[in-house]
Amino acid sequence: MTLTTEGLTKTFGGVRAVSGANVAIKEGRVNGLIGPNGSGKTTFFNLVTGLIRPDSGRVLHQGRDITGWSPHRIAHAGLGRTFQLCRIFPRMSVLDNMLVAVRRTRLRELLAGTRATAEVERARHWLHRMGIDHLETAEARHLSYGQQKLLELAAVFMGDPGLVLLDEPAGGVNPALIDRISALVRDLNAEGRTFLVVEHNMDMVMNMCDHVIVFDRGAPISEGTPQAVQADPRVLEAYLGV
183 and 143 belong to one structural domain? no
pLDDT greater than 70 at residue 105: no
Instruction: Among 128, 160, 192, give the residue marking a domain's end.
Output: 160
State the total domains in the chain: 2
8 and 70 belong to one structural domain? yes
pLDDT greater than 90 at residue 142: yes
Per-residue pLDDT, 238: 83
Task: Find the CATH number of the domain harbouring 29.
Answer: 3.40.50.300
Per-residue pLDDT, 239: 78
58 and 176 belong to one structural domain? yes
For residue 194, list its beta bridge partners. 163
35 and 140 belong to one structural domain? no
pLDDT greater than 70 at residue 113: no
Question: Rounded to an integer, what distance in angstroms lies between the CA atom of residue 184 and that of residue 30?
Answer: 12
Per-residue pLDDT tens for 216-229?
Answer: 999 999 999 999 99
14 falls in which pLDDT band (50, 70, 90)?
confident
145 and 197 belong to one structural domain? no
Per-residue pLDDT tens for 39-54?
Answer: 999 999 999 999 999 9
152 and 44 belong to one structural domain? no
Instruction: Among 142, 160, 178, give the residue marking a domain's end.
Output: 160
pLDDT greater than 80 at residue 241: no
179 and 65 belong to one structural domain? yes
69 and 183 belong to one structural domain? yes
Per-residue pLDDT, 145: 93
Per-residue pLDDT, 39: 92
Length of the chain: 242
36 and 134 belong to one structural domain? no
241 and 180 belong to one structural domain? yes
pLDDT greater than 70 at residue 155: yes
Per-residue pLDDT, 116: 73
Per-residue pLDDT, 6: 97
Please give the share of the chain, as a percent, with pLDDT higher than 90.
Answer: 78
E strands, 35-179, where? 56-61, 64-65, 79-81, 163-167
Per-residue pLDDT tens for 61-92?
Answer: 999 999 999 999 999 999 999 998 888 999 99
Instruction: Among 160, 185, 201, give the residue marking a domain's end.
Output: 160
189 and 116 belong to one structural domain? no
Domain that holds residue 170: 1-78+161-242
124 and 99 belong to one structural domain? yes
Per DSSP, the residues of 190-240 read: HTT-EEEEE-S-HHHHHHH-SEEEEEETTEEEEEE-HHHHHT-HHHHHHHH
Per-residue pLDDT tens for 172-184?
Answer: 899 999 999 999 9
Question: Rounded to an integer, what distance in angstroms lies between the CA atom of residue 19 and that of residue 179?
Answer: 34
pLDDT greater than 70 at residue 110: no
Question: Rounded to an integer, what distance in angstroms lies between the CA atom of residue 43 and that of residue 79?
Answer: 16
